[in-house]
Every structure is written in structure tokens, then in C-alpha cells.
Structure 1
């Protein structure tokens, strides 16, 4: 990856709907060169997809939280089972497997606090491997998209 590849990725993260011609103009390349680079980024697995960013509040899922779970026993099957279960829940946006004090961090978006309570009590806490959880409500968040390669030393 060089600076032009980083520029292509930055522009596509800001607006994935750019045409190749618009993208080429923004990064200072000929359209044919830009297309070759964009295809190479996809083929290398660096550019993995194009996604729509959704305003969750406008679709009735305005309450977001990060829920830290502790599970036992910590076996590969239990970890994969909990991860699969969490990702099947319609409220779940992302699941992170952690090292350290907590085992999972689950990002949810849900209509109300009451709905979150019901989800946690009726579904998550009934799982035998769940030994505890802590919920942190997200009041606001900002996203920073950085794709510049890390420079070694």
C-alpha cells in the first residue's frame, strides 16, 4: 500500500458511491489507473466491501449500548456458541471477543431501555455460560476512519 492506495480508501470510506471517474479526480489519477488500483485493493482483501451507513434512530433503534459479558467455561465451543448466539440477535450490531477481564463486548441498537432489559433478562441471562454482564449506554459517538498504513520504525 502506498499513499495513493490510502487516498483511494479514504475517499471510498467517506463516500462509497463515488464513480471511478470522481474517485480518480479526487486522488489525482487517470480513471484507468484508479480502476486498476481499486481492483487490486479488492483482490488483495484490503477493500472488503461497500456498506450503507444507517441512522439507527430513524429506523426505531435509537438506544445503543456496549454490553460486556463474562462467560464460563472458556472453551472454544462455548466461545463460538455464544458468539453465534449473539450475532443471531436482531439488536446486535457487532460482537468482539476480548482478552482480559471481560470475554465479549456486544454492541446493540434497540428501540428502548425497556426493550434492552427484556433482551438481557429473557435471552442473554438465560444462557448457562453467562456468569455476568455490564451495560454501558452510548450517548453519542464519532467515527474516525483511518486507513493509512502503519510505518515501521
Structure 2
């Protein structure tokens, strides 16, 4: 089954929508009253505007950020995966199975010499080696993997591009 693609960059967002999005990206636990104040609108309007952003598929969820190191997942890695063959049934099985594993933070379907890029977090380099052996090296659909250790992960901007950048 094909996954729904991202919304196009020409989504109709006005200045108030952008302020609401930026504030929620910065702090999803912000109170509606504070959000309204920062957007320069009434609290009832802020609530309606936020609901509209959810209904339009622009805001897709709220979540807590967990410190991976604080919960024992001190080793992060990016693993490039090249599949052995591009058989639809094997691809579907791989795509359904791998993201469900508890160590997997994200899985990306990518272009180029790699088919998938996995971001995983585990407790040690031994656990990383064992994970690659247990879940990738023994998978008959996987032809090649390359593991890169992550020394630091810095989040970027998760909100819309500034208006000026969208004009070009």
C-alpha cells in the first residue's frame, strides 16, 4: 500500500498559522492562552485555528521527546540497507517488519545506491552488532548493509519554511 505523500509546499498558511505552528513545534505543551497571546488572537480563535491545522493534516501529532541516553540507549547508528532483489512481496515484508522493532527510531526509503536508511538506538556497540546480525544480516531480502555511528544528533527546524523561501 502506498503511503500518503507529504503536503505540497504551497499549502495555504497565513501568518497566524505559521506562528501557531512555530510555537507548537517549539513547545507542544504550550497552553492555549499563551499560544493565543503569542499569535495575537483570542484563545477561542487559537483553539479553532489549531483544530483546523490538525483537520487539514498540517499538524499530525504531539509527542514527548525522550532522552535516549537517559533510558539506556546510548549508541545511535544510521544503517544503509541495500536489498538483494526488488521483489514486491519481500519489500513489503521488510517495510512492515523493520520499523516495528523497538530499536528503530526511523526508517527512510531513499534513492541512490541504498534502498533504506535506518536510524536505530541501542545500549552498546555489542548490542548494535548483534542487532545488525539478528535483523539484517540474516534477512534473506537484505543484500548489503553499512553502519555509521552517530556521535551527535541535532534537530533542525520542523516547521514550515519562512515565507520568503517559498516564493522562489
Normalised by the size of structure 2, how large is the TM-score? 0.86
- Extract unaligned runs of 5+ from structure 2: 1-12
Aligned to 1:82: 94
Partner Cα separation in structure 1 for residue 69 and residue 144 of structure 2? 28
Q: Which has the higher contact order (CA 8 A, sep 6+)?
A: 1
Q: Which runs of 4+ in 1 moved over 3 A?
A: none
Normalised by the size of structure 1, how large is the TM-score? 0.94
* 3-state SS, counterpart of residue 74 of structure 1: coil
Aligned to 1:97: 109
Count how many residue pairs are aligned between Structure 1 and Structure 2: 153
**1:84 positional shift:** 1.5
- Please list, as runs of the form range in 1=range in 2, the aligned pairs for 1:27-46 lying within 5 A after superposition: 27-46=39-58
1:52 paired with 2:64, answer yes
1:13 paired with 2:28, answer no
- Extract unaligned runs of 5+ from structure 1: none
RMSD: 1.3
**1:6 positional shift:** 1.2
Q: Tell which deviates more after alignment, 21-30 or 99-108.
A: 21-30
